[in-house]
Chains A and B, each alone.
Chain A
Amino acid sequence: QTVVTQEPSFSVSPGGTVTLTCGLSSGSVSTSYYPSWYQRTPGQAPRTLIYSTNSRSSGVPDRFSGSILGNKAALTITGAQADDESDYYCVLYMGSGIWVFGGGTKLTVL
């Protein structure tokens, strides 16, 4: 069974840049997996940040960007702010209607 991998945790300084990644236990992530990224803050609905690799969802600031880096999908946050402290999830489309989420990355801004 394919596992989608994410860093369990990451930290960034305020104003800094951080890149979170989303990989596969076997194989490389490409645009064909339509990688998307979501921010999950306790008590709130998941917020869509990036979809289809690098398309920014409506209202999402341009300091959030998506890309493919090497064999993984990536979410880059530039100019990190305190309220970016949250859990971030990627999801990949496996085909035949099947989606698989990564385990999430807990981002700390300090």
Chain B
Amino acid sequence: EVRLLESGGGLVQPGGSLRLSCAASGFTFSSYAMSWVRQAPGKGLEWLSTISGGATGTYYADSVKGRFTISRDNSKNTLNLQMNSLRAEDTAVYYCAKQGYASSSPFDYWGQGTLVTVSS
């Protein structure tokens, strides 16, 4: 059974940093692309970033490019999102999502999400 469990969310001040993690199990983690998607309060889903299975390719939405960095540790089956220069508009529930073999593969499994609140 595929399981994705996000962690690392919390309250952070504007301009601060936070590192999210997603522990994956139930599939061969290193073979699949993975993504981060968020949903701000009262807003829709927003794709943020994708990383290929071998971490050779990373892709970002314009809204987070230069501030967020996606990475993965295939030895620990873990996906990460380093978030810097956080803004109030980054307040959201952050989900990790599994894709297929390619970065163009759709999202098929999702975690339960972790809440990030950016506020002073």
- Chain A CB within 8 A of B32 CB: no
The number of A-B residue pairs with CB atoms under 8 Å apart is 66
Pairwise interchain contact B47-A48, C-beta atoms closer than 8 A: no
For this complex, into which size category does the number of interface residues on chain B fall? 20 to 34
A57 to B107, CA, bound (A): 10
Pairwise interchain contact A45-B95, C-beta atoms closer than 8 A: yes
- Chain A CB within 8 A of B112 CB: yes
CB distance from B8 to the nearest CB of A (A): 17
Pairwise interchain contact B47-A91, C-beta atoms closer than 8 A: yes
Pairwise interchain contact B106-A51, C-beta atoms closer than 8 A: yes
CB distance from A99 to the nearest CB of B (A): 4
Total interface residues in chain A, CB < 8 Å: 27
Considering residues A46, A52, A57, which has the most beta carbons from chain B within 10 angstroms of its beta carbon? A46
Q: Fill in one digit per residue for A74-110: 1 if any B CB lies within 8 Å of its CB, else 0.
A: 0000000000000101010101111111111000000
**B110 is contacted by which of A48, A97, A99 (Cβ under 8 Å)?**
A48
- CB contacts (< 8 Å) of A91 on chain B: these are 45, 47, 106-107
B85-120: which have CB < 8 Å to A?
95, 97, 103-113
B28-85: which have CB < 8 Å to A?
35, 37, 39, 44-47, 50, 57-59, 61-62
Q: List 22 A-B contacts (CB under 8 A).
A: A1-B62, A34-B106, A36-B107, A40-B45, A44-B112, A45-B110, A45-B113, A48-B109, A51-B107, A51-B108, A87-B44, A89-B45, A91-B45, A91-B47, A95-B104, A96-B59, A97-B57, A97-B59, A97-B104, A98-B47, A99-B47, A99-B50
